[in-house]
Amino acid sequence: MGLLGRFKGMFSYDISIDLGTANTLVYVRGEGIVLNEPSVVAIRQEGGPNSAKRIAAVGAEAKRMLGRTPGNIVAIRPMKDGVIADFTITEKMLQHFIRKVHENKFKAFKPSPRVLICVPCGATQVERRAIKESAAGAGAREVYLIEEPMAAAIGAGMPISEASGSMVLDIGGGTTEIAVLSLNGIVYSNSVRIGGDRFDEAIISYVRRNYGTLIGEATAERIKEEIGSAYPSAEVREIEVRGRNLAEGIPRSFTLNSNEILEALQEPLSGIVGAVKTALEQTPPELGADIAEHGMVLTGGGALLRDLDRLLMEETGLPVIIAEDPLTCVARGGGRALEMMDEHGGDIFAMN
Amino acid sequence: MTDVSEPNGVEAFAVAGGPGRHLREAREARHLTVAQVAAQLRLQSRIIEALEHDDYHNLPGSTFVQGYLRSYARLLGLAEDHLVGLAQLEGVTTPSLVSSIGAGGSDEASSRDLPFRIVSYLILLVVVVGLGWWLSQREPQSMGLSSPAVSTTGGEQGLLLPEEAPSLPVEVSLVAETVDAGEVETAPDESAPAEEAPAAEAEEAAVVAAPPVAAPQAAATVNSPDAPPTLTETMPQSRLELEYREKSWTEISDAAGRKLAYGLIPEGKRLTLRGEAPFRVFLGYADGVRVYYNGDLFDHTPFQNGDMARFRLGRAEHNRPLSR
């Protein structure tokens, strides 16, 4: 890294970033999660014919603008399906987040942290490189990549170093990662492009089909969070939402209940269940036995969907548990991985 | 089996105050057996029993214990967070991230290990210091060596003298011949017009008067008075001898700018050159060459720059290093 880099490192710090489709989390080593914001960037087009575009807002502020922007502002989610959809904007967003973390620490120096970023295990080399370069462009001194399920398992506190199978299911905004880990390595991994976003889309299309009403993404997300569930339960919850009636063209208010949402979510959920079953099929029998004994662990925002563990339990017949604080598992695990790398050398985890 | 373990368990709860008691009471209130709960949670009965006894030591790890407690609490409709908060998980092993195999790997010598790093830094330090010392010593050393070199070469010269002694008269007698040889060998066609005539003459003389030894001498004597008018003071041509102990690149030109030698001369060779006095000498590997100027050993070490030496050689006042 060179002497200069080492010197700069004395005034810098290590951060782990969970660059997710829905949320970006930044974990600073020794401090914990310092930033948790939606991966949304709002861009303002300045007046004039070929004028520059400017970042109007990033994160939570930009997310509030989603679907509510005037003509000269576009709110963009630069990540799609767990990978970069818009390279430049992602770089800007990362830059913003790194600077924001940095502002609270050493103001006198330009930020140049060591950065560990989690990538979906299904990411191609091109996508990995895009993420790496994006982080380097945002001012990272060194960039490491770690596969998301590995970070999730570390963050969830699973015994991945033992010669015993651990299965982790990380349901993020864009992708669902399934992996079987043993001895610090990934035995099987699969990534399906189903996640929280697909749940929202499923709700939107269900409402459109059955109510003839169009609702926005933010509303769909709210519905999912409040009454969404993955398994039928005795208790039926309701929510009142507003959307534009397609026939009348006028915003209307109507009520949805949890059973309807359960029905709406069937398709993406069956996709996840199918992926889990495939993973179990592909797992070597000894590791499968370990998983059957201890159970699989759910992490990621999708784990917060009510009774998802119940659904998986019924479908697979295995114990399913939800990790503590599932939203931050990946970022925490990445931070822990950085520490481990320093203590034991970079070859502990299969990284690239 | 449950009947046997329960009495002990009850005592344990009273002391521990963990969530196990609440779980068991709630389960009994719902008339569920351990086996039924285990079937619903897809867990083994022994895990359920362990949870109810607050005995987490045989369970996989804190993550799993918390997860099991949550699932169990949810099944019974209890407050999950409260129950998990009650659980005393301090004693529960959190998995370390270094596997036994990984630890075995770290037992092996790694270049990252502190002792190895210290040793390699020390070696590096020694090398750097040694290099610095060597470089600083090199200049004075070569200076110091130069004087003994002179004396030893003086001694050698003494030894060489017998060798040279017979050659000297021969050379004296065969001045013309050697001049020719030198001229023909080193600069056959670029010799100055002023010299061409005497050279040719001398050659003729040498060829013609080959059998009688006196004739060349005469020719030489004829030659020498012939030349001075044309070349004035430089006419008593200087003799430069180079003795190669190592092969060296050599470039030598005389005052008139004629190239007397140019090329890589192999070791063991002895070069005798004649030309006008201040020679411009460049030696690629000066240490391997001894320079004799008019038969005297010339110490060129003061002009040495690294392996190379570049200097002007003539009468004492002419001797000075040359820049490129």
B77 CA: distance to closest CA in chain A (Å): 12
Q: Indicate whether B17 pLDDT > 70.
A: no
Q: Record the tokens describing residue A198, joined without a space.
A: 């697909």
Contact at 8 Å (CB) between A298 and A306? no
pLDDT at B109: 57
Contact yes or no for B23/B76 (Cβ under 8 A): yes
A-chain CB neighbours of B66 within 8 Å are 321, 324
Is pLDDT larger for residue B196 or for residue A44? A44
State which amino acid sits at residue A102.
H
B100 CB neighbours in chain A (<8 A) are: 162-163
- Fold of the domain built from segment(s) B19-97: 434 Repressor (Amino-terminal Domain) (1.10.260)
pLDDT, position B175: 45
For chain B, what are the domain ranges? 19-97, 146-318
Q: Distance of CA A112 to CAs A90, A96, A270, A332, Å?
A: 17, 13, 43, 20
Bigger pLDDT: A155 vs B166: A155
Q: How many residues does chain A have?
A: 352
Cβ neighbours of residue A62 closer than 8 Å, sequence gap 6 or more = A38, A40, A41, A42, A56, A75
Question: What is the tens place of the pLDDT at every residue in A270-283?
Answer: 999 999 999 999 99
Which DSSP helix (H) or strand (E) runs through A316?
helix A308-316
Task: List Cβ neighbours of B191 (8 Å cut-off, separation of 6 or more).
Answer: B183, B199, B258
Q: Two tokens at B125?
A: 């330090």
Q: Which pLDDT score, from 0 to 100, does residue B159 have?
A: 42
Query: What pLDDT score was predicted for residue B70?
Result: 85
Residue A287 has which token pair?
């590791």
- Give the model confidence (pLDDT) of B47-106 as tens digits: 888 888 888 777 777 888 888 888 888 888 888 777 777 777 666 666 666 644 444 444
The percent of chain A in helix, strand and coil, each rounded to the nearest 5, is: 40, 30, 30
* pLDDT > 90: percent of chain A: 35
Q: B256 φ, ψ to 5°?
A: -80, -5
Q: Cβ B71–A319 below 8 Å, yes or no?
A: yes
**d(C-alpha B151, C-alpha A314), whole Å:** 102
Which residues lie across from A191 on neighbouring strands? A177
Which residues have a Cβ under 8 Å from the Cβ of A178 and sit 6 or more positions away? Answer: A149, A167, A168, A169, A170, A188, A189, A190, A191, A192, A275, A276, A279
CB contacts, 8 Å: A322 with chain B: 67, 70
Residue B44's pLDDT is what? 85
The pLDDT confidence band at residue B230, using thresholds 50, 70 and 90, is very low
pLDDT at B163 over 50: no
Return the beta strands (E) in chain B as ranges. 238-244, 248-253, 259-265, 270-275, 279-283, 289-293, 296-298, 304-305, 308-313, 320-321
Q: Could you give the CA distance from residue A27 to residue A17 in angstroms, rounded to a whole number?
A: 6
Per CB-CB distance under 8 Å, the chain B contacts of A313 are 41-42
A295–B63: do the CB atoms touch at under 8 Å?
no
Are A147 and A338 a contacting pair, CB within 8 Å?
A: no
Nearest to B64 among A162, A184, A295 (CB): A295
Tell the residue number behind the tokens 């359920």, with chain if given: B48
Whether A312 has a pLDDT exceeding 90, the answer reads yes
One-character DSSP codes across A160-225:
TTSSS-EEEEEE-SS-EEEEEEETTEEEEEEEES-SHHHHHHHHHHHHHHHH-EE--HHHHHHHHH
3-state secondary structure of A83: strand
Q: Kindly state the percentage of chain B with pLDDT values over 70.
A: 55
Instruction: Name which of A294, A309, A336 is nearest B64 (Cβ-Cβ).
Output: A294
By CB atoms closer than 10 A (0-12, 13-18, 19+), residue B55 is middle
CB A120 within 8 A of CB A170: no
**Would you tell me the crossing angle of helices B114-173 and B175-186 to the nearest 10 degrees?**
130
Q: What value does the mean pLDDT of chain A take?
A: 86
Query: Chain B contacts of A162, Cβ < 8 Å?
Result: 95, 99-100
Model pTM greater than 0.80? Answer: no
Contact A156 B63 (CB under 8 A): yes
Q: Supply the angle between the helices A148-155 and A329-344 in degrees, to the nearest 10.
A: 90
Burial of A73 (0-12, 13-18, 19+ CB in 10 A): middle
pLDDT at B120 over 70: yes
pLDDT in tens, B279-315: 888 888 888 888 888 888 888 888 888 888 888 887 7
Given B63, B64, B101, which is nearest A183 (Cβ)? Answer: B101
Q: Which of A294, A300, A292, A295 is nearest to A272 (CA)?
A: A300
What's the pLDDT at A257?
92
Within 10 angstroms of residue B225's Cβ, the number of other Cβ atoms is: 9
pLDDT given for residue B47 in this prediction: 86
- For residue A48, CA distances in Å to A45, A72, A74, A184 come to 9, 11, 16, 55
Residue A135 CA to residue B195 CA, distance in Å, equals 79
**Is residue A333 predicted with pLDDT exceeding 70?**
yes
In degrees rounded to 5, what are phi and psi of residue A169? -125, 110
- Closest by CA position to A130, among listed A96, A179, A186, A85: A85
Q: Look at B32-41, B136-145, B146-155 and tell me which has the smallest mean pLDDT.
A: B146-155
Output b/e per residue, A248-283; b: 16+ Cβ within 10 A: eeeeeeeebebebbbebbeebbeebbebbeebbeeb
Q: What is the mean pLDDT of chain B?
A: 68
Q: How far is B61 from chain A (nearest CA, A)?
A: 8
| Cross-chain Cβ contact B61/A159 below 8 Å | yes
